[in-house]
Amino acid sequence: MKKAFMVLAMIAVCAMASAEQNQLAANGPFGPDWESLKQYQCPEWFRDAKFGIWAHWGPQAVPMTGDWYARRMYIENHEQNKYHLANYGHPSEFGYKDIIPLWKAEKWDPDRLMSLYKKAGAKYFVSMGVHHDNFSLWNDKFHRWNAVNMGPKRDVVGEWQKAAKKYALRFGVSEHLAASYTWFQTSRGADKEGPQAGVPYDGANPEFADLYHAKAQPDDTGWYTTNPVWHAEWAQRINGLLADYKPDLLYSDGGLPFGLFGRQVLADFYNHNMQAHKGRLEAVYTCKGHGLHPNTENNQFVQEACVPDVERGGLTDIQPYVWQTDTSIGDWYCNRNWKPRGADWVIRALADIVSKNGNLLLNVELRPDGSIAEDVKNTLETLGQWMAVNGEAIYATRPWLTCGEGPTVLKGGHFDGSFALTAHDIRFTTKKGKLYAIALGWPAEGKLTICSLAVPNEIKYVKLLGYNKKLVWQQTDKGLEITLPSKKVSEIASVFEIRGKNLTPVPIPVENSSPDTAGK
């Protein structure tokens, strides 16, 4: 009876919250319906930025075994469960609540890191706000499990924001909270075998239900729960985050959650952002579609209302809308067993994504103490050196009439993040009457042929960025043939600035093309 009363009370709170949010949403052009939200236009700052850095960081970094630790430590015989047993004990006695105090962030210096990110070429920075572990990284007024009360006892979001502002980077936050309710149900289980069989994990203890959640209904197993009480809590906490920090960007790890609740949060975000910018919309909301999760009332993706996000992947060709790839140098959380990717992979991924009207949001893995590994630092420094020479082919550019050419086939979609591109793969961008051809390597034969620029294109000027001497080049019916300098300008990718009259890609014969560029 008491439980039923509490549920009814929360639903009443939901209704009042809906009315309040509806009123807030009415104070601007956006309302909590799709026709209104489809008015959205991506701001120019985001279209020009192209590259951002993300801190996907929190208590789950402590064991240094990678992503989803808070869930998998409760899955019997999972590698992270085995690690937990060996290093911390049984999750009935030492659970995720006990991992949180071990996250001290004692070497974390957001100012020093932001300086490094700025030099690496980032134009925006995104802080983790809250992951599926239901632990807020800000001074969350509605939830005691937060980084100001526990763990490092610091306002992680606030300190990141202060540093981003100092270095003139746009600031965003990511929320993974909506999926937490069903994601964390593993904490309520028990071993099926062994000496602790049947002993409930600590998530079943009602004392910690505000961290691990109430027990879900048996059929409530989707990415987003159907529980309306959780919908209301999510909206309250995310609204609080947005009100306190007023970020330029909000990221959801899925579609827009929870029907009317989500639409009201989004309308409010857009309207308040416009009020803060004298009627100009500067806000960016990224969420995931492209078939990652079923598009339902509870998990909504409407392309016109947001910036679509593709996790650890890309798209096969130029899109008519701005989009974003979010990916990582290594695992999402610090993983001692993963070798971080190098600057070559980052630069080639960036060139491919930007050529197709996208942005790259790159997670830079931090250790639990907030320090950065030397090889990750080296990657960022190399990236910054490349950007200093070649950034004009990235920032504030727009796609050409084709994204590129070359032999490599990229599948596109979520979780296809190989970007294993070669010296014979080329990507194009444009800006202020200039065409940039980004060669993703240095051909061993000392010549580069750009097939898309064969005659009848009329080329007047070709320059290799970072090389001050005149290039030898000619046009033939096979393409623009460039003789490369004897000394490499870049081991990773070289950019050619090309000018001419009404440049239009020449159709490439099938034997010289890849499926993502043929006939474009």
> What pLDDT score does 419 carry?
77
> What pLDDT score does 1 carry?
40
Question: For residue 451, what are its two tokens?
Answer: 């097939």
- Over its C-alpha atoms, the chain yields an Rg (Å, rounded) of 25
**Are 176 and 253 members of one domain?**
yes
Residue 304: inside a domain, yes or no? Answer: no
CA distance 17 to 23: 10
Angle of the 110-120 helix axis to the 374-390 helix axis, nearest 10: 40
CA distance 118 to 51: 11
Q: Which residues of the chain have pLDDT under 50?
A: 1-26, 513-520
Amino acid identity, residue 87? Answer: N
**Are 389 and 490 members of one domain?**
yes
Residue 376: inside a domain, yes or no? Answer: no
3-class secondary-structure state, position 284: strand
3-class secondary-structure state, position 236: helix
**Are 198 and 330 members of one domain?**
no
**Are 413 and 495 members of one domain?**
yes
**Are 58 and 189 members of one domain?**
yes
> What pLDDT score does 291 carry?
74
> What pLDDT score does 148 carry?
98
User: What is the sign of the dihedral through the CA atoms of 352, 355, 356 and 361?
Assistant: positive
> What pLDDT score does 36 carry?
97
> What pLDDT score does 10 carry?
46
> What pLDDT score does 26 carry?
45
How many residues does this entry show for the chain? Answer: 520
Q: Half-sphere exposure (CA, 13 Å, Cβ side) for 360? A: 28
- For residue 48, report the phi and psi dihedrals to the nearest 5 degrees: -85, -25
Residue 337: inside a domain, yes or no? Answer: yes
**Are 271 and 317 members of one domain?**
no
Residue 134: inside a domain, yes or no? Answer: yes
Strand partners, 447: 483
- For residue 375, report the phi and psi dihedrals to the nearest 5 degrees: -70, -30
Residue 359: inside a domain, yes or no? Answer: no
**Are 264 and 338 members of one domain?**
no
| Helix H or strand E segment including 135 | none
Question: For residue 422, what are its two tokens?
Answer: 């070669």
- In this structure, what DSSP letter does residue 315 have? -
CA distance 123 to 164: 10
**Are 340 and 247 members of one domain?**
no
**Are 90 and 162 members of one domain?**
yes
Task: Give per-residue burial for 490-503: e unless 16+ CB within 10 Å, then b.
Answer: bebbbbbbbebeeb
> What pLDDT score does 415 carry?
76
Residue 371: inside a domain, yes or no? Answer: no
**Are 345 and 243 members of one domain?**
no
Residue 303: inside a domain, yes or no? Answer: no
**Are 280 and 325 members of one domain?**
no
CA distance 281 to 283: 6
Residue 372: inside a domain, yes or no? Answer: no
Q: What is the CATH number of the domain that holds 336?
A: 2.60.40.1180
Number of domains the chain contains:
2
pTM over 0.85: yes
Strand partners, 286: 251, 307
Question: For residue 205, what are its two tokens?
Answer: 């203890």
**Are 253 and 398 members of one domain?**
no
The residue range of the domain holding 135 is 2-286
Q: What is the CATH number of the domain that holds 50?
A: 3.20.20.80
Strand partners, 314: 413
